[in-house]
Amino acid sequence: MIIKDKKAPGQKLIDNLPLKTKWLICLTGGLSLISSGLLFFGQAIYLRMTPVHTSTWMAIGLLGLILVNIGLVLFSRGGNYRAEIRSKKIFKERQKLFRKEQARKKKAARGGQTSGDLKIQKNS
């Protein structure tokens, strides 16, 4: 049995979201995870100073570091989405200017010719 490339259950939903929504989710999620990770890491440092079993503060510190790293990845992905939003905006603006310039050049190339003159040239 051949299994086709299937996407994860929520992947189709995420792919259909607009870029701005993806950007906001990644940005806020990343900042939240970074903050939570730093809180866990700080708690682990505090527990290190108290007479607590070593595995307790190490597990909490490890969880804190994992959360910080995941938060950084999400935050950077949000930056990528933001850059894509900006580049699309700039591309659309430049495309609009290019079309205007092409229309202006066409108009200038025709010069003083009337539409009747153009029809005569096309027929010959």
Cα 73 from Cα 85, distance rounded (Å):
19
Does the pTM exceed 0.85?
no
From 23, 17, 21, 65, select the one nearest 40 (Cα to Cα): 65
Q: Tell me how far apart the 2 most distant CA atoms of the chain are, in Å.
A: 99
Task: Please give the DSSP secondary-structure letter assigned to residue 9.
Answer: T
Where would I find the H helices in the chain? 11-15, 19-49, 54-110, 115-123
Checking if the pLDDT of 61 tops 60, the result is yes
pLDDT in tens, 91-117: 999 999 999 999 888 888 887 555 555
Cα 80 from Cα 22, distance rounded (Å):
10
